[in-house]
Amino acid sequence: MKYFTAVAVAVLGLAAQQTMALESAEPVQRAAPVEKRDVGCYQQGTSSKPAMCYTPGCPSGTRSVFWDFGCPSSSWKCCI
């Protein structure tokens, strides 16, 4: 019973962590592009205007740009 309780607490903690991550900006990126011509979200930013992944949309003062990799899923927007 103690083992089951420990596993349940660990699973709930991970689920809560994932839920919080989905409600904010996420600097998540794959290690390498799938193909050489793929465009990463973070490659499009600059030091003065960094690119970030947001969900459900871009904050005011930013615009959405096309990306092939770098954000958690296709429902996220890459914003500069």
Rg (CA), the chain: 16
**Domain count for the chain:** 1
Q: Does residue 79 lie in a domain region?
A: yes
Q: Does residue 12 lie in a domain region?
A: no
- Look up the domain containing 61 and give its range: 25-80
Angle at 32 between CA 11 and CA 68, to 5 degrees: 85
Q: Does residue 16 lie in a domain region?
A: no
Q: Does residue 53 lie in a domain region?
A: yes
Strand ranges of the sheet holding 52-54, from the earlier edge strand across to the other edge: 52-54, 77-79, 64-65
Q: Does residue 18 lie in a domain region?
A: no
- Taking only the tens place, the pLDDT of each residue in 6-50 is 444 444 444 444 444 445 565 555 545 556 788 999 999 999 999
Q: Does residue 41 lie in a domain region?
A: yes
- Going by the DSSP 8-state scheme, the letter that residue 61 receives in this structure is T
Q: Does residue 63 lie in a domain region?
A: yes
Query: How much helix, strand and coil, in percent to the nearest 5, is found in the chain?
Result: 30, 15, 55
pTM: 0.55
Q: Does residue 5 lie in a domain region?
A: no
